[in-house]
Chains A and B, each alone.
Chain A
Amino acid sequence: MKRFLLMLLLLASPVWAVEPREMLDDPVLESRARDISAGLRCLVCRNENIDDSHADLAHDLRVLVRERLVAGDTNTEVVDYIVERYGEYVLLQPNRDGANLILWYAGPAMALFGLILAIGFIRQQARKRASGEGRPDALSDEERARLQQIMGD
């Protein structure tokens, strides 16, 4: 937490997140700008999008996004334009390509694998009951031996 805070503080210059003078008059364009901003990382911050960031660079990026929108770019074009200039690092949501597929599909794959494993395990131990082995009321060898010992006394 501390390092995160420190980082925030170092960047807490007088400029702060989305400023009135940056905003576009057209509410539709402005809301599109917000949607785009939420997916763009402030490059000098810790995992913050440019909307939430206080940094000067985030301010520049917010202005840039709006300039492109006013120029008539689609959302994808704006993002591509910024990725071209600043690299993949600027995307908070990594592309689903190449090695990133591991990132995206590791969770679902593990869920599926786990589910198959779990069903297999539950079936197997349930079958054991059917065959009488390991019944909840069955005695272990140890217990059977002890029972015999007690009964023998």
Chain B
Amino acid sequence: MIVELGHFTLILAFAVAIFQMVVPLVGASRGWPEWMAAAVPAASAQFLLTAVSFAALTFAFVTSDFSVALVTANSHTLKPLLYKISGVWGNHEGSLLLWVLILTLFGAMAAWFGGNLPPRLKARVLGVQSAIGVAFFGFILFTSNPFLRLENPPMNGGDLNPLLQDPGLAFHPPFLYLGYVGLSMTFSFAVAALLEGRVDAAWARWVRPWTLAAWLFLTIGIALGSWWAYYELGWGGFWFWDPVENASFMPWLISAALLHSAIVVEKREALKSWTILLAILAFGFSLIGTFIVRSGVITSVHAFANDPERGVFILFILAFFMGGAFLLYALRAGAMQAKGVFSLVSRESALVVNNLLLAVSAFVVFIGTLWPLLAEIFFDRTLSVGAPFFNAAFFPFVLVLAVALPIGAVMPWKRAGVGRALRVVAPALVPAGAAVLLCYAVFTGHSAIGPLFIGLAVWLVISAGLDLLSRTGRGALGARLARLGRLPRADWGKAVAHTGLGLTIFGIAALTTFASEDIRVARIGESFELGPYTLTLTNVQDVQGPNYASRMGTVEVARDGAAVSTLHPERRFYPVARMPTTEAGIDSGLTRDIYVVLGDPQQGGFALRSYIKPWANWIWGGAIIMALGGLLSLSDRRYRVAAGARKQATRTDGVPAE
């Protein structure tokens, strides 16, 4: 009954979405206030109906209702409650329901908190947002219904994929979707602006928080996924340039570009049409990501679209929204007149360089991801594009970006001097250069690329601090430091986010350059050296988990005779899904992780792989700090108390006085 209710409310939400797509847009073009105002209650209704539907599916999972096909395929009574809940989105149909839930949530939030938007713009934004909703409601109802019942319900289910039964991955998809779908909001604003035929500072001020939010959720989602891959897949890799990872990385890059170019629109009313284009592209990449993940086209080139119906449906959605938006863009973008002009050396130009580098690197990832498919279709070549290509083609742009970022960040608007900007951040050159030389000297024989990136990371982090300090004006250092606290949160957000980027680059460079490993057959009681540590395999025993059996090793780690920690690497076997998993034993630390993986018994002992992963946690720590920077920016005063400013802005827009 509850399941049918969920299905029914989903259909109702579909109907409301169609209403909300048509009525406000017609109202906006005809100037009928009642029709425009209808968007707000419709957006709330759409969200509530979808929420009920989602709750119904969650209920079916929590109560293990195996008459629902989806629950049978993805759940089991013995599974811990957390994973019963995360099982809701651990599959195609359920994750799509989560997708539309977030889509309608964003729409509703725009309706609730958009009181100060000009009514016509608001109606158009909500109408466009709802059009995206219609497409995805149609997709879920016609091709991927999560509420299908089974005629003969089994006694128990097939269990969730054991690799997904992990806290890191339980929350990875919701964050990622918050990011993907958040970009639908900026898309709606972009299309609405094109329909309006005008983009101004007020528009940018409205769009930027949504972009920031989408970007910071994407950052967290990607970091969670990468962290999970590191500790769960059993060899300590953190990024594989897998098409599915790239699918989330491309929107991240484009949204990073977008949130920077939106600053230029907001502060200087320039780069308007470029910003609109980026907003369209960012959501386009979200949709491409959805296509890559759900169609199976890229997954395996040889089984072209193992889910053809779904793949075609998403392609249709993609073609419709991108085609429509680009057409509108071609017709209207010319009307976006820039107000602020700037010279070749200025903050604006620096942000153009930022945008160029981020857009090109997204393009490199894009072409690398699609190339196997294109090469097969057009050139009849079956080939692979893997990590070595991406590393070679992507990192040069990161390098240029990292070199230029601190200089661009301290440039003033309109007109700047390279020399003057360099003077602000020059003190950072010393420690950065020292870091390069030190790393290169200590680790001779390695390539110079690692030390170079470490130096760049130091350069980024220290200049972020200098940038912040340079905003405190002149005077004694003490007085300037005291003034730091009073700087706008946006300034802090910028410095913190750039620091986070530096830390992530540092973590990646340090981990890939200085990692050491040991692979051996270890007998019980046997000790061996790994760097400065002594590792001893003291015990291996069988342990029974709630829904799995485990062979658990005990490895004592000591340094200079003093115990450091005890690790428990595991090999788990999930009998229902009949899948083994590896649980690495990890001693996490600020400067290094000790990472031990237990293998199979052989030659009277057990295969044991041990690694020292230097500075590994800084990769994800840096990402979280980046997200924190986004959050700081998002909480900036001008977004909270901008109501008055917006009202003023709308008045100059020529909106008739009330």
Contact surface of A with B, Cβ cutoff 8 Å = 1-9, 12, 14, 16-21, 23, 38-39, 41, 46-49, 52, 87-94, 98-100, 102-104, 106-107, 110-111, 114-115, 118-119, 122-123, 125-126, 128-129, 134-136, 140, 142, 146
Q: A144 to chain B: closest CB distance in Å?
A: 13
Taking CB atoms and an 8 Å cut-off, the chain B residues in 6-29 that contact chain A are none
- Of A3, A99, A110, A134, which is within 8 A of B378 by CB? A99
> Is the beta-carbon distance between B349 and A122 smaller than 8 angstroms?
yes
Nearest chain-B residue to A23 (Cβ)?
B519
Q: A8-B163, A111-B360 are in contact. Are A41 and B242 (CB under 8 A)?
A: no
* Docked complex Cα distance between A49 and B169 (Å): 23
10 pairs, CB–CB < 8 Å, chain A vs chain B: A4-B242, A16-B582, A19-B519, A20-B602, A21-B603, A92-B387, A119-B344, A122-B348, A126-B343, A136-B339
* Docked complex Cα distance between A100 and B360 (Å): 18
* Docked complex Cα distance between A95 and B607 (Å): 36
* Docked complex Cα distance between A49 and B363 (Å): 24
> Is the beta-carbon distance between A92 and B389 smaller than 8 angstroms?
yes
- Of A18, A92, A123, which is within 8 A of B344 by CB? A123
Chain A binder among B101-109, B187-195, B230-238: B230-238
Q: A4 to chain B: closest CB distance in Å?
A: 5
Q: A111-B356, A123-B344 are in contact. Are A20 and B388 (CB under 8 A)?
A: no
Binary CB contact string for chain B from 381 to 395 against chain A (1 if under 8 A, 0 otherwise): 111111111001100
Q: A88-B381, A107-B367 are in contact. Are A1 and B339 (CB under 8 A)?
A: no
Question: Which A residues touch B349, using CB under 8 A?
Answer: 118, 122
- B contacts with A, residue count (CB < 8 A): 77
B533 within 8 A of A: no
* Docked complex Cα distance between A39 and B243 (Å): 17
B296 within 8 A of A: yes
Nearest chain-B residue to A115 (Cβ)?
B356
Question: Which B residues touch A119, using CB under 8 A?
Answer: 344
B113 within 8 A of A: no
Q: B657 to chain A: closest CB distance in Å?
A: 13
> Is the beta-carbon distance between A122 and B344 smaller than 8 angstroms?
yes
* Docked complex Cα distance between A9 and B349 (Å): 48
Nearest chain-A residue to B388 (Cβ)?
A93
* Docked complex Cα distance between A8 and B609 (Å): 19
Taking CB atoms and an 8 Å cut-off, the chain B residues in 498-520 that contact chain A are 519-520
Q: A111 to chain B: closest CB distance in Å?
A: 5
> Is the beta-carbon distance between A3 and B654 smaller than 8 angstroms?
no
> Is the beta-carbon distance between A1 and B225 smaller than 8 angstroms?
yes
* Docked complex Cα distance between A48 and B235 (Å): 12
Q: A47-B384, A92-B384, A99-B375 are in contact. Are A14 and B339 (CB under 8 A)?
A: no
* Docked complex Cα distance between A23 and B387 (Å): 23
Nearest chain-A residue to B237 (Cβ)?
A52
Nearest chain-A residue to B361 (Cβ)?
A107
Q: A119 to chain B: closest CB distance in Å?
A: 7
* Docked complex Cα distance between A24 and B346 (Å): 57
Q: A25 to chain B: closest CB distance in Å?
A: 12
Q: A118 to chain B: closest CB distance in Å?
A: 5
B403 within 8 A of A: no
Nearest chain-B residue to A109 (Cβ)?
B360
* Docked complex Cα distance between A128 and B299 (Å): 50
> Is the beta-carbon distance between A111 and B397 smaller than 8 angstroms?
yes
* Docked complex Cα distance between A39 and B388 (Å): 7
> Is the beta-carbon distance between B383 and A88 smaller than 8 angstroms?
yes
Taking CB atoms and an 8 Å cut-off, the chain B residues in 89-107 that contact chain A are 90-92
Q: A47-B386, A99-B381, A135-B341 are in contact. Are A118 and B371 (CB under 8 A)?
A: no
Number of A-B residue pairs, CB cutoff 8 Å, is: 175
* Docked complex Cα distance between A3 and B599 (Å): 25
- Of B161, B341, B367, which is within 8 A of A136 by CB? B341
* Docked complex Cα distance between A20 and B605 (Å): 11
Taking CB atoms and an 8 Å cut-off, the chain B residues in 222-268 that contact chain A are 225, 233-235, 237, 240-245
* Docked complex Cα distance between A1 and B368 (Å): 18
> Is the beta-carbon distance between B352 and A122 smaller than 8 angstroms?
yes
B521 within 8 A of A: yes
Question: Which B residues touch A5, using CB under 8 A?
Answer: 161, 163-164
B364 within 8 A of A: yes
- Of B237, B244, B378, B389, which is within 8 A of A4 by CB? B244
17 further interface pairs, Cβ-Cβ under 8 Å (given A20-B521, A89-B383): A1-B225, A3-B299, A6-B161, A16-B582, A19-B519, A19-B599, A41-B386, A46-B243, A47-B242, A47-B243, A92-B389, A94-B385, A102-B367, A107-B367, A114-B356, A122-B343, A125-B342
Binary CB contact string for chain B from 531 to 555 against chain A (1 if under 8 A, 0 otherwise): 0000000000000000000000000
Question: Which A residues touch B602, using CB under 8 A?
Answer: 20-21
Q: 9 nearest interchain CB pairs?
A: A92-B386, A93-B388, A107-B364, A99-B379, A129-B341, A111-B360, A114-B356, A5-B163, A41-B384
Question: Which A residues touch B385, using CB under 8 A?
Answer: 92, 94, 103
* Docked complex Cα distance between A39 and B384 (Å): 10
Question: Which B residues touch A103, using CB under 8 A?
Answer: 367-368, 371, 375, 385, 389
* Docked complex Cα distance between A24 and B580 (Å): 28
Max chain A C-beta neighbours (<10 A), residue from B241, B338, B381 = B381
Question: Which B residues touch A48, using CB under 8 A?
Answer: 240
B337 within 8 A of A: yes
Nearest chain-A residue to B338 (Cβ)?
A125
Q: A111-B360, A118-B352 are in contact. Are A140 and B337 (CB under 8 A)?
A: yes
Question: Which A residues touch B344, using CB under 8 A?
Answer: 119, 122-123, 126
- Of A3, A92, A94, A140, which is within 8 A of B296 by CB? A3
B579 within 8 A of A: yes
* Docked complex Cα distance between A52 and B654 (Å): 62
Nearest chain-B residue to A54 (Cβ)?
B234
Q: B252 to chain A: closest CB distance in Å?
A: 15
Nearest chain-A residue to B90 (Cβ)?
A2
Nearest chain-A residue to B248 (Cβ)?
A1
Question: Which A residues touch B378, using CB under 8 A?
Answer: 99
> Is the beta-carbon distance between A3 and B244 smaller than 8 angstroms?
yes
* Docked complex Cα distance between A134 and B338 (Å): 8
- Of A4, A52, A89, which is within 8 A of B384 by CB? A89
Q: B517 to chain A: closest CB distance in Å?
A: 9
Q: B394 to chain A: closest CB distance in Å?
A: 8
> Is the beta-carbon distance between B363 and A110 smaller than 8 angstroms?
yes
Taking CB atoms and an 8 Å cut-off, the chain B residues in 386-436 that contact chain A are 386-389, 392-393, 397
Max chain A C-beta neighbours (<10 A), residue from B162, B225, B242, B382 = B242
> Is the beta-carbon distance between A52 and B235 smaller than 8 angstroms?
yes
Nearest chain-A residue to B386 (Cβ)?
A92
Question: Which B residues touch A123, using CB under 8 A?
Answer: 344
Question: Which B residues touch A100, using CB under 8 A?
Answer: 375, 381, 383
* Docked complex Cα distance between A93 and B341 (Å): 44
* Docked complex Cα distance between A115 and B354 (Å): 11
B340 within 8 A of A: yes
B309 within 8 A of A: no
Q: A3-B299, A98-B379, A107-B363 are in contact. Are A17 and B234 (CB under 8 A)?
A: yes
* Docked complex Cα distance between A102 and B383 (Å): 14
B281 within 8 A of A: no
B172 within 8 A of A: yes
> Is the beta-carbon distance between B161 and A9 smaller than 8 angstroms?
yes
Max chain B C-beta neighbours (<10 A), residue from A88, A106, A146 = A106
B48 within 8 A of A: no
